[in-house]
Amino acid sequence: MTLVAYTREVSPTLADCELTHLEREPLDVARAAAEHHAYEELLSQLGATVRRLPAAPALPDAVFVEDTAVVLDEIAVITRPGAVSRRPETPSVASALAAHRPLAQIEGPATLDGGDVLVVGRRLYVGLSTRSSHTAIEQLATVLRPFDYEIVAVDFSGCLHLKSCVTQVGESLLLLNPAWIDPSVFAGNRTIEVDPTEPHAGNALALGGAVIHAQHFPRTRARLEAEGLRVRPIALTELVKAEAGVTCCSLLVHGT
């Protein structure tokens, strides 16, 4: 199996990004770009072939490529981001993914961000958020019906995207913040709860036998390591000011 990780360089306008749950504060774009480069290097170390999408200097949030598509083994679904300013990000992503998968498209007025979609086996948990709508979930269910996926709509609170509060870190193993999402939604899976002092620590990326996790959450990292997981911490001090996590900066495509 091969793994391609699509990324996009940090825009010089990143400080003008969309914000929903965080107050805007000074953001060092050069440092954010350095953090992103280190992230790409780590993806490579863990076995991914990193391919950069075309630069989009006028689109502040374009580095967060996860939100533009949902990539499955059989198909890639191009999203319609909930923030109007982000919709110009999708055509270049569609062009890249067309080399790997048949494409489908979420149609307006429905909206869907990829960060609201958590894939666990043949089940897709889709968060109902300010960025993702009921009608988009219905469209997604229709598109995926031929492939026998189950779609589960999920309520959560306290953060931008579903994957801000829950991600998969191992086989049937989820990392989550129980204050923001009800763990019973994920019955049949084991869960690791974030440390209560680190509410934003639920976002992690399992890749290449390791788990990428923001280094400023040491207490939650200890919980992951106590489960026998190999954690690769990474600095995100500037990117998190734009509501970033480790999953949102790449779009992973598995192939042969």
| Whether pTM exceeds 0.75 | yes
Residue 30: partners with Cβ closer than 8 Å, 6 or more residues away:
none
Considering the candidates 17, 159, 248, 249, report the single residue annotated as catalytic.
Answer: 248
134 among known catalytic residues: no
Q: Is the pLDDT at 193 greater than 70, yes or no?
A: yes
Which structural domain, as residue segments, surrounds residue 26? 2-255
At residue 240 the predicted structure's pLDDT band, cuts being 50, 70 and 90, is very high
In whole angstroms, give the CA distance from residue 37 to residue 44: 11
CATH of the domain at 195: 3.75.10.10
Considering the candidates 17, 36, 159, 161, report the single residue annotated as catalytic.
Answer: 161
What average pLDDT does range 52-76 have in this prediction? Answer: 97
Contact yes or no for 244/61 (Cβ under 8 A): no
- Report the percent of the chain where pLDDT is more than 90: 96
How many domains is the chain partitioned into structurally? 1
37 among known catalytic residues: no
List, for residues 138-178, the tens digit of each pLDDT value: 999 999 999 999 999 999 999 999 999 999 999 999 999 99
